[in-house]
Amino acid sequence: QKEVEQNSGPLSVPEGAIASLNCTYSDRGSQSFFWYRQYSGKSPELIMSIYSNGDKEDGRFTAQLNKASQYVSLLIRDSQPSDSATYLCAVQGGKLIFGQGTELSVKP
Amino acid sequence: KAGVTQTPRYLIKTRGQQVTLSCSPISGHRSVSWYQQTPGQGLQFLFEYFSETQRNKGNFPGRFSGRQFSNSRSEMNVSTLELGDSALYLCASSLEDSQETQYFGPGTRLLVL
């Protein structure tokens, strides 16, 4: 079992829709959780960090964490074509472990 | 504040050679981590340095090494390059602890021929 698993993509949504990205992790001791966005040919940039159970909202982005289920998700409301990128879930235990990423395509 | 900088941005080497990559963290950041990104394996952790000491290490062979200087700048070295070392090498910095948010540099794209 991979340490961090993301739902396989690519995920295609129409402009204005909600995009839902999911991630599960295996280390129950993990304390910090991050979502990064990576455009093709660029380095990852941080979108959200979340440390406690529940929801955390920042603009059109909402991160959700459920430590009991070892699950973290990212919702993108009112998706825009500029949101088209690969989204990386990262989980911090002793080191930062990344999922394989989910490619999101937002169609105009 | 200036972001994380990495040099060089692009490199072409041949098998058997060695390479040194450099990373300057965000001012005030003391933790520097290195990652390798390939299409097949994704982003994989190489090592983390803090106060000139390697604090954590990923599952890479000994050909991959690094160091950190007193000004927090870091270098990584790959000896005896193999074709499979072709990748994007990313450096990320954080304030004190890699548990905190890490900010990535633009990366060095290495091609081994």
Extended strands (E) in A26-67 = 32-38, 45-50, 54-58, 61-66
Instruction: Spell out the residues 6+ positions from residue B72 whose beta carbon is closer than 8 angstroms to its own.
Output: B25, B29, B30, B32, B93
Mean pLDDT (chain B, rounded) = 94
* Distance from the A70 Cα atom to the nearest Cα atom in chain B, whole angstroms: 18
Q: Is the peptide bond before B106 cis (omega within 30 degrees of 0)?
A: no
The mean per-residue pLDDT over the stretch B21-50 comes to: 93
Choice between B40 and B63, residue whose per-residue pLDDT is larger: B63
* Distance from the A76 Cα atom to the nearest Cα atom in chain B, whole angstroms: 21
What is d(CA A59, CA A64) in angstroms, rounded to the nearest whole number?
14
As a three-state string, the secondary structure of A81-94 is HHHCEEEEEEEECC
List of chain A residues whose C-beta atoms are within 8 Å of the C-beta of residue B99: 31-32, 92
pLDDT tens-place string over residues B85-101: 999 999 999 988 767 78
Note the pLDDT of residue A94: 74
A96–B104: do the CB atoms touch at under 8 Å? no
Band of pLDDT at residue B1, cut at 50, 70 and 90: low
Interface of A with B (CB under 8 A): 31-32, 34, 36, 42-46, 49, 88, 92, 94-101
Note the pLDDT of residue B96: 83
Note the pLDDT of residue B100: 77
From the candidates A96, A97, A98, A100, which should be mutated to test the interface with B, based on the most B CB atoms within 10 A? A96
A32–B99: do the CB atoms touch at under 8 Å? yes
Choice between B97 and B112, residue whose per-residue pLDDT is larger: B112
Q: Which residue in chain A is spatially nearest to B102 when comparing CA positions?
A: A46
Nearest to B98 by CA among B57, B59, B37, B43: B57
CB nearest A100 (choices: B42, B45, B88) = B42
Choice between B41 and A88, residue whose per-residue pLDDT is larger: A88
The mean per-residue pLDDT over the stretch B35-51 comes to: 92
pLDDT > 90? residue B79: yes
A49–B58: do the CB atoms touch at under 8 Å? no
Note the pLDDT of residue A5: 94
A29-68 burial: b if 16+ Cβ within 10 Å, else e: ebebbbbbbbeeeebbebbbbbeeeeeeeeeebbbbbebe
* Top-ranked range on mean pLDDT: pick from B8-22, B31-45, B95-109: B8-22
For chain A (108 residues), the mean pLDDT of every run of 10, in chain order, is 83 96 93 94 93 95 96 97 96 86 95
pLDDT > 70? residue B39: yes
Tally Cβ neighbours within 10 Å of residue B66.
22
Helix (H) or strand (E) holding B21: strand B19-24
Amino acid of residue B31: S
Cβ atoms A36, A21 nearer than 8 A? no
Note the pLDDT of residue B98: 61
* Distance from the A75 Cα atom to the nearest Cα atom in chain B, whole angstroms: 20
